[in-house]
Amino acid sequence: MTNLAKSFREEIQRISKRNTNQSVRSIRRDTRLLKQVIQDLARRIKLLEKEPKTAANAPASRATVSDDDVATMRPTTEMVKRLRAKFKLAQSEFGKLMGVSDQAVYLWEHKKGRIKMRDAVKRRFAEVRQMRVRDVRKMFKV
């Protein structure tokens, strides 16, 4: 009789341990996934805090840019250099203002003659040309 009771007790312990481990395993997995999500969100928050205000958050420019203006505009190296000098921005800051990389700004400034830009960037360039220095400084908190 003792052996039977002992066997039952051991079997019950084994089954309960297995069920508990299965439950704990799924909870651990969920916890690990949630911690990863929290880390990703924290990284994204840090990046957003470092970024200056973008054009979407910027004050509206004085005039709107028409499609014809964008189509006929021919940006040159000198235009980019003058605009960046007017706002007293580094290449990386000007790149953020334009929505391009600082490497693109470097290439624009060192290319001879007319610069080829995508339509969206060309439109943004036309908008930035119409911005006031005060508005740009507000964006970069200079």
Phi, psi at 62, each rounded to 5°: -65, -40
Lowest-pLDDT range of 56-60, 118-122, 124-128 = 56-60
Mean pLDDT to the nearest integer, 24-38: 92
pLDDT band at 61 (very low <50, low <70, confident <90, very high): very low
Pick from 65-69, 113-117, 127-131: least confident: 65-69
- C-alpha distance across the termini of the chain, in Å: 87
Domains of the chain, residue spans: 1-50, 67-140
Of 33 and 57, the one with more pLDDT: 33
Contacts of 63 (CB under 8 A, 6+ apart): 130
Examine the pLDDT at 22 and tell me if it is beyond 80: yes
The CATH classification number of 67-140 equals 1.10.260
Centre a 10 Å sphere on the Cβ of residue 54 and count the other Cβ atoms it contains: 11
Residues 6+ apart with CB under 8 A from 70: 119, 122, 123, 126
- Tell me which of 34 and 64 has the higher pLDDT: 34
Euclidean distance between CA atoms 131 and 72, whole angstroms:
19
pLDDT band, residue 113 (cuts 50/70/90)? confident
Mean pLDDT of 32-61: 76
Model pLDDT, residue 40: 93
Residue 56 has pLDDT above 70, yes or no: no
According to the model, what pLDDT value does residue 39 have? 95
| pTM tops 0.75, yes or no | no
Read off the pLDDT band of 54 (50, 70, 90).
low
